[in-house]
Amino acid sequence: MTETTNLHIAVIGGGPGGYAAAFLAADLGMKVTLIDPELNPGGVCLYRGCIPSKALLHVAKLITESRDAKNLGVEFSEPKLDLPRLRSWKEGVIKKLTGGLGQLSKQRKIEYIQGKAAFENSTILRISRADGSGDSISFDRIIIATGSRPAIIPSLRLDSPRMMDSTSALDLNDVPSSLLVIGGGYIGLELGTVYAALGSKVSVVEMLPGLLPGADRDLVLPLHKRMEKIFASILLNTTVASVKEETNGIRVTFEGPEVKEREKVFDKALVSVGRKPNYEIPGLDETKVKVDQRGFIQVNKQLQTTDPSIYAIGDVVGEPMLAHKASHEGRTAVEAIAGHKVAFEPNSIPAVVFTDPEIAWCGLTETQAQRENREVKVARFPWVASGRALTLDRTEGLTKLLLDPQTERVLGVAIVGAGAGELIAEGVLAIEMGALAQDIALTIHPHPTLSETIMQSAEVFFGTSTDLYRPKPAP
């Protein structure tokens, strides 16, 4: 690997893609400069995404479970919120993690520059430091990891503290009496769950016929049912035509075939209608990097752009815009730069919606199989037959396997239910290892756990489940 040790690499952006790339490059002996506007690495995921949202969702879970405990014979009084303390706890989590990354960066002798990078050409970056100084530095390779930002629809653009995006919603400045979540995707539903638990009357509006467009409907159903209980309303097939600030809130006008109330005033609104890649790096047009129509930087399987000295990873190169995809791409890009024979070709990238219940899937989905006219066998295990789910009083879940009818290979795994996000890793491993239904059925899972439902789904496939009666498939 001698040829790579002399390379000087720049990584633009310190998110999960950028810091993973920078750390591995340093571990492989390269000289690394990591540039990001924040004091420490972390990116959207740690400062304004995955971590703060999950910290708040944990609080939401505590509140909901303490309320639900009544059904089990334990009654708690209503929780009292101490918002400043809650905020500082969440900030503390972020600080610990980002501070830790700062330490790890120093230990690896990475030059971390707090600032912004612009291209002068394919190998020279103009760096504007946070302290006002700036310089131009030449690099052998540059990795773009500039991530994404919340998308804004022009008709919803309103400069008002009552109008939030995911970043300001995570600041948790107050708990609005009523909150309209515009967009029924995972970010809107996760944040809506937090605010509903904290006491807001939350409504969700989605222009498509179902929440979480793209996810299998049988997974969304239990979530939808529970959300109907915790949310004030769920408006489907409905668009927001206009928003206007008034003294007591935001007046929202709805349009759509099912609209009953055309106008309504909400204390606050949260716009969560997707994310846009940050491809507009100054000077990028001085390089040979190409950007597609949606704003994603074009890369090959080694994450190399159309400019041979520039690589790009993470949200800025495409869907799924998820932290774990970004960091794996970061590792692949660095290994490719190091001359290793690598390609980013995962068989499955897991997706998790951290609502209550959680939804998680990996590999082929039923929706995708139908769209591609692909023949699959689906084996479902309903959690109503799971001992562990009963002990948790959470039997609404479902685990399913998508199997190749000829080879019986696991093509997809999907779960809705408490803790689905933790359970899905077994499915990812099964798909990556090319497991067959029999491998899963023969793997002894601990009892009583929710993980058993994955094994039990495989038993359903063979008609051998002892917890359910399903006739054996015809020979």
Long-range contacts of 468-472 (CB under 8 A, 24+ apart): 468/381, 468/382, 468/385
The yes or no reply on residue 147 touching ligand FAD (CB under 6 A) is yes
Q: Is 340 a catalytic residue?
A: no
Q: Which stretch binds ligand FAD (CB under 6 A): 146-154, 233-241, 333-341, 379-387?
A: 146-154
The reply on whether position 37 binds ligand FAD by CB under 6 A is yes
Give the residue closest to ligand FAD by C-beta: 147
* Residue 333 vs 454, nearer CB to ligand FAD: 333
Tokens 């660095």 sit on residue: 334
User: Pattern of binders to ligand FAD over 240-279, x per CB under 6 A?
Assistant: --------------------------------------x-
How far is 105 from 110, CA to CA, in rounded Å? 5
| Piece of 10-18, 153-161, 227-235, 368-376 that binds ligand FAD (CB under 6 A) | 10-18
Bridge pairing between strands 351-353 and 233-235: unpaired
Nearer to ligand FAD, 252 or 281 (CB): 281
What is the 3-state composition of the chain as percent helix, strand, coil, each rounded to the nearest 5? 35, 25, 40
Between residue 450 and residue 469, which ones bind ligand FAD under the rule CB under 6 A?
none
Q: Interface with ligand FAD includes 348 (CB under 6 A)? A: no
Query: In the numeric block, which tokens belong to residue 405?
Result: 């009818």
Residues facing 288 on adjacent strands: none
Question: 362 with 424: CB under 8 angstroms?
Answer: yes
Among 15, 102, 249, 382, binds ligand FAD (CB under 6 A): 15
Nearer to ligand FAD, 13 or 363 (CB): 13
Using the rule CB under 6 A, is 102 a contact of ligand FAD?
A: no
Q: Please tell me the distance from the alpha carbon of residue 62 to that of residue 55, in angstroms, as a whole number.
A: 11
Distance of alpha carbon 14 from alpha carbon 36, whole angstroms? 5
State which of residues 45, 179, 270, 401 lies at the interface with ligand FAD (CB under 6 A).
45
Q: Does the protein bind ligand FAD through residue 435 (CB under 6 A)?
A: no
Among 24, 30, 43, 57, binds ligand FAD (CB under 6 A): 43
Residues 182-211 that bind ligand FAD (CB under 6 A): 187
Cβ-contact 310, 285 below 8 angstroms = no
Cα(429)–Cα(346) distance, integer angstroms: 11
Contact 386, 415 (CB under 8 A): no
- Taking CB under 6 A as the criterion, the residue among 324, 328, 331, 394 binding ligand FAD is 324
Give the footprint of ligand FAD on residues 280-309 (CB under 6 A): 281
Neighbour tally for 115: CB within 10 Å: 17
Tokens of 56: 């708040």
For ligand FAD, the binding residues (CB under 6 A) are 12-18, 35-38, 43-45, 48-50, 53, 116-117, 145-148, 166, 187, 278, 281, 314-315, 321-324, 326, 354
